[in-house]
Structure 1
Amino acid sequence: MKINYITTFIRILITYVLVLHSFSSSAEPIQNTLKIATFDVDATPPIGSSLTYDPMVNNWDLGLRAKGIVILGSGQPIVMCSVDWIGISNDSQDEFKRIMAEAAGTIPSRVVVHAIHQHDAPASDLGAEKLLLKAGLNPIAFDGTYTRDLIKRLGLAISKSISTAVPLTHIGKGEAPVYQVASNRRILGPDGKAKASRTSATRDAALRAEPEGLIDPMVSVISFWTNNKPVAVLSYYASHPQSYYRTGIANPDFPGIARFMRQLAVPDALHIHFNGAGGNLTAGKYNDGAKENRLILAERLADGMKRAWDLTKQEPVKASSIEWNVESVTLKPAQGIEALEVKIKTETPVFVANNLSKLVWLRRLEAGKKIDLSCLTIGNVRILHLPGEPFVEYQLAAKAERPDLFVAVAGYGDYGMGYIGNAVAYAQGGYETGQASGVTAEAEEILMKAIRKLLL
C-alpha cells in the first residue's frame, strides 16, 4: 500500500514537471521570436547613366549604397531603408515599398525608404519618367532603368537577409553634438526677410561669417543587438550632405565617408545613416568648396557618431514594446505647379530634375493619394519618418514635444513635394520656400498635428 502511494506521488510529480515544461516550451518562442535582419546593396548606377544633374562619367572609391534593416516578430515585419540618392519620389516610392514589402512578407505602409540627398547621385521618380516619355521627351535624370534594377536587387537581398535573421535582444541609444558641420542656410536681413541662402559650398566669406543659426547639433545613434553583439547601428543627423558636387562621379559625400569610418571602427554591425530634417541646413558656414573639406566634414561627423556610440546605453527589448504607427496627411499644393507641364519642354534639364516631381505629386494629390508619416516605437525610443526636405524646426519641435523620450528624425522620405518650410519661413521668402517648395505655410499645422499623434 505504501509503495502505491509513492508510485502515485511520483506519477503526479512527473506530470507536474511535464506540464511546467510544456508551458515554458510554448512561452519561450513568444519571448524569442523577435529578430532582426540587415541588408546592404550597391546602389551605384553604371557609367554612362544619368545622375541627377550630370552624366555619370566614373566611379569613386566609395560607391553608393542602399542599406536597411527588417524587424521581425512584432506583428507584420517592419522595413527601414536608407539610400545614397538625392531623392526618391511619388511612383518610385510606391514601387520600392511594394517590392520590399513583398520580399519581407509585410505591407507597404510598414516600409520606409529615405534618401540621404547626396547630389552626385541619381534621382528617382517613375511617374516623372512616364510623364516625360508621354510628352516625347528624353527622361534623362528620370530614366527608370536603374531604379527598377535596384528595386529588384533590394527585394532579393531582403528575402535572403530574412533567412539569416538573428535574435533581437537589446536596443542601444546614444547622442552627442557634432561640431562645425551644420549651419542654417537662410540668412535673414534686418527686416526679417531672407536676404541670402548659404549654400553647401559658400565661397562668399561674408556669408560664412554669419552666425551658425538654428540647427540641431546632435547626432542620434540607435543600435540593435543580439546579446552583447551589435547587429545594426543607425545614425541620424540633420544637414545637407554636400561638400562639393557636379563632378559626374557618383559618390556618397561626407556622410558616406563618416559612415564608412564607423563601419571600420565597429565592424560587426551594419552602419546605416539617415539624414534628419535638414532642408534649411548646409555645411556652408564651414565649407568654401575646397575639396579637402570633404574629409574634414566627414571626420567631424564621424567624431560625433563615435562619441554618441561611446555614450550608448543598452536596454532589453521585447516584441510587446515595439509599435508601428502611420498618419496619412494631405498637404496643400503651392501655386504655379501646373505651369511645370509647359516648362518641361522649354526649361533646362537641371530645372526639370529639380521641379518635375512636384507636378507628379500634384497629380497624385488630385487622385486622392496622401503622404504617410510614420513612427517606430521601441520602448522609450521613437524614430519619426518625414517626407520631403523638412526644415529643422520640425525635428526640434518633435524632440521638444516629448523630452521624456529618445526621439530621432529621418527626413527625405517621399521627395515629391520638395522643401517643407515652417509657416513663418513662407512669409520671410527666400529660395527654399519659393519655387523649390511644392507646399504652403499650412504644411506646418498639418504636419505638427500628425507628429504629435505619432509621438503619443
Structure 2
Amino acid sequence: MPMLPFQNALAGFCSLVTLILIATSFSESKPPDLKIAYFETDATPPIGSPVAYAPARSITDSLSARGVVLTGIGKPIVLATVDWITIANEGLTKFSQKLAQAAGTTADRVSIHVLHQHDTPRCDISTEKLLEKHGLGGKHHDMKYLNRVMDQASLAVSSAMKRLQPVTHIGIGKAKVDKVASNRRILGPDGKVAIVRFSSATDPKAIAAPEGLIDPWLRSVSFWSGDKAVVALSYYATHPQSYYGKGDVTAEFIGMARKAREATTGVPQVFFIGAAGNVAAGKYNDGSQAMRAVLAERIEKAMTASWAATEKREVSPQNNWSSQLVQLPPAAHMKVDSLQNILNDTGSPAASRFGAARKLAWLEQQKKGAGIRVSSLRLGGVRLLHLPSELFVEYQLNAQKLCPEEEVCTAGYGEGGQGYIGTQIAYTQGGYEVEPRVSMVAPASEKVLMSAIQKVLK
C-alpha cells in the first residue's frame, strides 16, 4: 500500500531526527581536540630596581613569568603566573591584553596570577601614573623593566602557539603538606583577633597556638601527550615568605621547590598560590635563613607525593571556560577627598602617600567599570578556579563544597588592586588583614564574590 504524502514527510523527518541524534551523540562522546604548550620568560629585575620593600640589592635566584596556552575549548585560554608580589589595575589589564593578542584570543580568557613573594616587584600602572603626577614616580615601579617583561612574555606565548601538543590524558593528584601553612588570625575568647601570626613567628604563644583553618592539600594537574607529561600545574594556599625586606630578590621557597621538581622530572612546573590572605608559615617558621630551604623541602616533598598519587584520565568532552566580571563594594573608609588630600600633602610620610595613591587608583578603575574577573576552567573531573589577590582561605574551601564530586584547584593572587578580601565576619573580628590600610573592600564583598564563584563553577 503506497504511503500518503504526510507519511512520507513524517518518515523523512524521523530519519533526519535520527541522523541529528546520532551526530549529536557522536560529537558529545568524541574527545575534544585539546592541545597545550608551555611558555616561560625571565622576569628578574635589574639591581637598583624597586622591589616591594627596598631597591633590589642582590639576586638570590632568578624570577620568571610562565604558564600554559590551551586550545580546543573555544578560543585559546592562557593561564600564567609571575614571580611578582602583585599585578593590579591597568597593570593587569595591559598584561592580559598583550598575552591575549599573542594567543589570538580575548583578554577575558587570560588569567594571570602572582606568587606573591615579597622581595619581588610590583606591577601597577594606575598607581604609578598618580605617583608620577605628584613627583613620586619610579620609587615603587620600574616601568621600563615591567614593560620589557610583558613584551617578552607575549613573545613567549606567540612562540608557544607554534609548539602546541595534543593532550590525550589529564593527571590529577594531591598530597598533604606537612608543617608549612598555618592560619594568621588567632582568636581570643571574645571572638576577636588576639594574635596575628605573620609569615614568621618567635612569640611562644603564636607558635604554640593551633594551626587553625587552612587547606592542607597540595593539588596537581598534569597534561599528557601519550606517555609523555607536557607540563604540571601545582596549587597550594600559603603566603610564600620565609624572610624578606632587604631587597634580595628571590622566588622564595615555592620557587626553590618548583625548580627542584623540574630538575628531578624534566617536566615544566607552573605553581599557583591559592586563597592565602589569612594563611602563612608563621607557626613553623622562625624567620631564619636556614628555614627557607626547610620549607622548600616540605613543599617539594608534597609535590613529589602528589605526582606519585596522580591518576591519569582520558581527555573528557566535558570541558568549558566560564567567567564573571564583578565589582566589589568599596569600604566605608575609601573617601576620594581625604585620600587625595593625603597624596597632595608633601609633608605626609611617603608610605602614606603611596597607600593613598593605591586606593585612589583602585577606586578610579572601579569607576571605569574595570571590576574583578573570576573564572573557571572545567577539564572533566577537575575545576581550575581563578580568583583575585589576598582573599581568605574560606573562599577556597567553600568553592570546594560547591563541587564535592570534582577536584577544585584554586589560584588566588590575580587582580591585586583591592588588597585583602576578608570574609564578612572577619571585619568584626579585627586583625591586620581587615585594617583600612590593607583592605579596600566592604564586608558585603563576601556575598558578591561567592555568588560569582558559584556561577562560574555551576
Q: TM-score, normalised by structure 1?
A: 0.90
Q: Which residue of 2 aligns with 1:317?
A: 315
Q: Which residue of 2 aligns with 1:7?
A: none
Q: Deviations 1:105-156 (Å, cap 9, x if unpaired)?
A: 0000000110010000001100111111122323311232211111100111
The answer on whether the counterparts of 2:129 and 2:137 sit within 8 Å (CA) in structure 1 is no
Q: Quick one: structure 1 residues 127 and 190, their matched pair in 2 at CA, closer, same or farther if it must change by over 3 Å? A: same
Q: 1:282 aligns with which of 280, 283, 307?
A: 280
In structure 2, the residue corresponding to 1:292 is in which secondary structure?
A: helix
Q: Quick one: structure 1 residues 247 and 79, their matched pair in 2 at CA, closer, same or farther if it must change by over 3 Å? A: same
- Letter in structure 2 aligned against 1:444: E
The answer on whether the counterparts of 1:129 and 1:143 sit within 8 Å (CA) in structure 2 is no
Q: Quick one: structure 1 residues 352 and 210, their matched pair in 2 at CA, closer, same or farther if it must change by over 3 Å? A: farther
Report how far residue 330 of structure 1 moved. 1.3
Report how far residue 207 of structure 1 moved. 1.2
Q: Which residue of 1 aligns with 2:305?
A: 307
The answer on whether the counterparts of 1:32 and 1:167 sit within 8 Å (CA) in structure 2 is no
In 2, the alpha carbon distance for the partners of 1:378 and 1:356 equals 40
Report how far residue 190 of structure 1 moved. 1.2
Single out whichever of 132-141 and 185-194 deviates more from structure 2. Answer: 132-141
In 1, the alpha carbon distance for the partners of 2:347 and 2:301 equals 46
* 1:394 counterpart = 2:395: yes
Q: Which residue of 2 aligns with 1:413?
A: 414
Q: Which residue of 1 aligns with 2:377?
A: 376
Q: Which residue of 2 aligns with 1:82?
A: 81
In 1, the alpha carbon distance for the partners of 2:58 and 2:352 equals 24
Q: Quick one: structure 1 residues 317 and 196, their matched pair in 2 at CA, closer, same or farther if it must change by over 3 Å? A: same
- Letter in structure 1 aligned against 2:58: N
* 1:207 counterpart = 2:206: yes
- Letter in structure 2 aligned against 1:43: A
Q: Quick one: structure 1 residues 353 and 298, their matched pair in 2 at CA, closer, same or farther if it must change by over 3 Å? A: farther
Q: Which residue of 2 aligns with 1:328?
A: 325
Fraction of identical pairs, as percent: 44
Q: Which residue of 2 aligns with 1:51?
A: 51
In 2, the alpha carbon distance for the partners of 1:409 and 1:366 equals 28
The answer on whether the counterparts of 2:120 and 2:250 sit within 8 Å (CA) in structure 1 is yes
Q: Which residue of 2 aligns with 1:10?
A: none
Report how far residue 35 of structure 1 moved. 1.2
In structure 2, the residue corresponding to 1:109 is in which secondary structure?
A: helix
Q: Please list, as runs of the form range in 1=range in 2, the aligned pairs for 1:164-175 lying within 5 A after superposition.
A: 164-175=163-174
Q: Quick one: structure 1 residues 41 and 349, their matched pair in 2 at CA, closer, same or farther if it must change by over 3 Å? A: farther
Report how far residue 391 of structure 1 moved. 0.2
- Letter in structure 1 aligned against 2:34: L
Q: Quick one: structure 1 residues 109 and 208, their matched pair in 2 at CA, closer, same or farther if it must change by over 3 Å? A: same
In 2, the alpha carbon distance for the partners of 1:379 and 1:351 equals 48
Q: Deviations 1:302-356 (Å, cap 9, x if unpaired)?
A: 11111111100011115x4321100111111012233333334455455555664
Q: Quick one: structure 1 residues 351 and 285, their matched pair in 2 at CA, closer, same or farther if it must change by over 3 Å? A: farther
Q: Which residue of 1 aligns with 2:13?
A: none
In structure 2, the residue corresponding to 1:390 is in which secondary structure?
A: coil
In structure 2, the residue corresponding to 1:39 is in which secondary structure?
A: strand
Q: Quick one: structure 1 residues 110 and 315, their matched pair in 2 at CA, closer, same or farther if it must change by over 3 Å? A: same
Q: Which residue of 2 aligns with 1:359?
A: 360
Q: Deviations 1:179-221 (Å, cap 9, x if unpaired)?
A: 1000000111111111221111112122111111111000010
Structure 1 stretches of 4+ moved >4 Å: 345-355
The answer on whether the counterparts of 2:32 and 2:73 sit within 8 Å (CA) in structure 1 is no
In structure 2, the residue corresponding to 1:394 is in which secondary structure?
A: helix
Single out whichever of 354-363 and 103-112 deviates more from structure 2. Answer: 354-363
Q: Please list, as runs of the form range in 1=range in 2, the aligned pairs for 1:18-417 lying within 5 A after superposition.
A: 33-60=33-60, 62-267=61-266, 269-318=267-316, 320-337=317-334, 338=336, 339-344=338-343, 345-351=346-352, 356-417=357-418
Q: Quick one: structure 1 residues 211 and 353, their matched pair in 2 at CA, closer, same or farther if it must change by over 3 Å? A: farther
- Letter in structure 2 aligned against 1:98: Q
In 1, the alpha carbon distance for the partners of 2:354 and 2:166 equals 43
Q: Quick one: structure 1 residues 227 and 433, their matched pair in 2 at CA, closer, same or farther if it must change by over 3 Å? A: same
In structure 1, the residue corresponding to 2:120 is in which secondary structure?
A: coil
**Runs of 5+ in structure 1 lacking a partner?**
1-22
Q: Deviations 1:196-249 (Å, cap 9, x if unpaired)?
A: 211111121221111111110000101111111111110000010000001211
Q: TM-score, normalised by structure 2?
A: 0.90
In 2, the alpha carbon distance for the partners of 1:277 and 1:352 equals 28
Q: Deviations 1:243-284 (Å, cap 9, x if unpaired)?
A: 0001211101111111111111211x2101000000000100
Q: Which residue of 1 aligns with 2:18?
A: none
- Letter in structure 2 aligned against 1:42: D
CA RMSD between the two structures: 1.7
- Letter in structure 2 aligned against 1:393: E
Q: Which residue of 1 aligns with 2:435?
A: 434
In 1, the alpha carbon distance for the partners of 2:64 and 2:168 equals 27
- Letter in structure 1 aligned against 2:270: I
Q: Deviations 1:8-29 (Å, cap 9, x if unpaired)?
A: xxxxxxxxxxxxxxx9xxx9xx
In structure 2, the residue corresponding to 1:81 is in which secondary structure?
A: strand
In 2, the alpha carbon distance for the partners of 1:127 and 1:383 equals 29
Q: Deviations 1:378-415 (Å, cap 9, x if unpaired)?
A: 11110111112110000110111211111010110000
In structure 1, the residue corresponding to 2:260 is in which secondary structure?
A: helix
In 2, the alpha carbon distance for the partners of 1:159 and 1:275 equals 25
- Letter in structure 1 aligned against 2:422: G
In 1, the alpha carbon distance for the partners of 2:263 and 2:167 equals 22
In 2, the alpha carbon distance for the partners of 1:352 and 1:186 equals 28
In 2, the alpha carbon distance for the partners of 1:335 and 1:256 equals 38
Q: Quick one: structure 1 residues 32 and 324, their matched pair in 2 at CA, closer, same or farther if it must change by over 3 Å? A: closer
Report how far residue 32 of structure 1 moved. 7.2
Q: Quick one: structure 1 residues 355 and 173, their matched pair in 2 at CA, closer, same or farther if it must change by over 3 Å? A: farther
Q: 2:455 aligns with which of 439, 442, 453?
A: 453
Q: Which residue of 2 aligns with 1:12?
A: none
